[in-house]
């Protein structure tokens, strides 16, 4: 009954999304990775640009990673981009169509594998993310978040899944979670399955499941220096195995406790590049927030004439201001460039 009401509503009200116009496993895989912890409206232009440039696995596998990373720039969680590229290179132009094979691939977890199988191959799998799990908790009237209750939800959703339309069932729950059954807002009256929802019957659906208290977000103080030479800027590529791996940035790093920010700047530049700078020009502060911490960036600028002592372990390049656009940078570096352009003219 739940599945019948849900699908009836879905076929009349489903969102028109570019990745729903295909059953191509590759395109569904790309969309699902992009959609993780990212809003649909944000993903649509990224997905369309990606598919235009990399319409299939073969094209993606043969593409230069810097170009691939530029297409991902701004989506965050850059390890996902790296895993997509690695996976494409490991395949013979085709994604496998079994759960056991998919789950072995870099960056493909249980949710993604089951969602691909349900939508692209019509297999009876339920890919359960936080949205689907929340709906399950509310339908069953479960408050306590635990492995036991999560397993109950999993079995329940698998039991009520429409066996003839598993992909539509998954996507119907996704649309329900984005419209009527959100984490911080519910609209129970128009919901097609509200009569079956125990949380609604208890008159307090927002309490299902219980919300964990968020921890305070720490702030990291960082000193960064934009260095120019012959009207070109220095960019260094971050190591692939670190946060924001593969992206390009200006030299800098953490300010030690009690260390003046000017001292931190000269120290970090010397440690990262071998270059010795004196009295860098202070440009101002840049604030940025990641998922688990904030950064407060003290931004400096220094023009250098002699670069004979440069010694950098990672890939680096001197590029014009216009040329910066060819490289994928963290969002914070674009904020730095805005501040830089207000005060400096190369």
Three-class SS state of 145:
coil
pLDDT at 344: 86
What pTM was estimated for this model as a whole? 0.91
Predicted confidence at residue 291, as pLDDT, reads 86
Q: Which residue of the set 21, 32, 58, 207 is catalytic?
A: 32
Q: What is the pLDDT at residue 214?
A: 82
32 has catalytic annotation? yes
Answer for the pair 177, 129: CB distance below 8 angstroms, yes or no.
Answer: no
User: Which residues in the chain land under pLDDT 50?
Assistant: none
Boundary-marking domain end, from 164, 186, 207: 207
Domain that holds residue 336: 219-343
CATH number for 260: 3.90.79.10
Domain count of the fold of the chain: 2
Give the per-residue pLDDT at 343: 85
User: What is the predicted pLDDT for the residue at 207?
Assistant: 94
pLDDT at 196: 95
Kindly state whether residue 214 falls inside one of the protein's structural domains: no
pLDDT reported for residue 158:
97
In terms of DSSP bridges, do strands 316-319 and 219-229 run parallel, antiparallel, or are they unpaired? unpaired
The answer on 223 and 203 residing in a single domain is no
Q: What is the CATH number of the domain that holds 193?
A: 1.10.340.30
Strand partners, 249: 236
pLDDT of residue 254: 97
The answer as to whether 318 is a domain residue is yes
- List the alpha helices (DSSP H) in the chain: 2-13, 25-35, 40-53, 57-62, 65-72, 78-90, 99-102, 110-121, 130-140, 147-160, 166-179, 198-201, 261-273, 331-343
Amino acid 217: pLDDT: 93
Residues 263-308: tens digit of each pLDDT: 999 999 999 999 999 999 999 999 999 989 999 999 999 999 999 9
Based on the fold, state whether residues 62 and 116 are members of the same structural domain: yes
Residue 213: predicted pLDDT: 82
Burial of 251 (0-12, 13-18, 19+ CB in 10 A): buried
């Amino acid at each position: 009954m739940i599945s019948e009401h849900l699908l009836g509503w879905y076929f009349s009200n489903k969102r028109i999304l570019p990745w729903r116009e295909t059953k191509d496993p590759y395109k569904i895989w790309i969309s699902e990775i992009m959609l993780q912890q990212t809003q649909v409206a944000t993903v649509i232009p990224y997905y369309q640009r990606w598919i235009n440039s990399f319409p299939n696995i073969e094209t993606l596998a043969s593409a230069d990673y810097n170009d691939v990373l530029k297409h991902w720039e701004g989506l965050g969680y850059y390890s996902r981009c790296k895993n997509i590229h690695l996976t494409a290179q490991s395949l013979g132009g085709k994604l496998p169509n079994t759960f056991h094979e998919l789950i072995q691939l870099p960056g493909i977890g249980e949710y993604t594998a089951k969602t691909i199988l349900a939508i692209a191959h019509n297999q009876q799998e339920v890919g359960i993310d936080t949205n689907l799990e929340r709906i399950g908790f509310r339908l069953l009237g479960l408050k306590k978040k635990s492995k036991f209750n999560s397993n109950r939800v999993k079995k329940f959703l698998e039991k009520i899944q429409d066996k003839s339309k598993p992909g539509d069932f998954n996507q119907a729950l996704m649309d329900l979670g984005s419209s009527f059954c959100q984490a911080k807002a519910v609209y129970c009256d128009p919901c097609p399955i509200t009569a079956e929802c125990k949380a609604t019957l208890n008159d307090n659906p927002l309490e299902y499941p219980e919300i964990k208290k968020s921890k305070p977000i720490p702030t990291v103080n960082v000193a960064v220096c934009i260095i120019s030479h012959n009207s070109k800027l220095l960019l260094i590529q971050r190591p692939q195995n670190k946060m924001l791996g593969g992206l390009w940035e200006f030299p800098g790093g953490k300010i030690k406790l009690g260390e003046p920010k000017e001292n931190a700047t000269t120290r970090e530049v010397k440690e990262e590049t071998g270059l010795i700078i004196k009295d860098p020009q202070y440009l101002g502060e840049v604030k940025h927030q990641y998922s688990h911490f904030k950064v407060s960036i003290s931004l400096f600028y220094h023009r250098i004439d002699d670069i004979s002592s440069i010694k950098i372990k990672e890939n680096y390049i001197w590029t014009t201001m216009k040329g910066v656009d060819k490289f994928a940078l963290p969002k914070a570096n674009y904020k730095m460039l805005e501040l830089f352009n207000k005060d400096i003219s190369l």
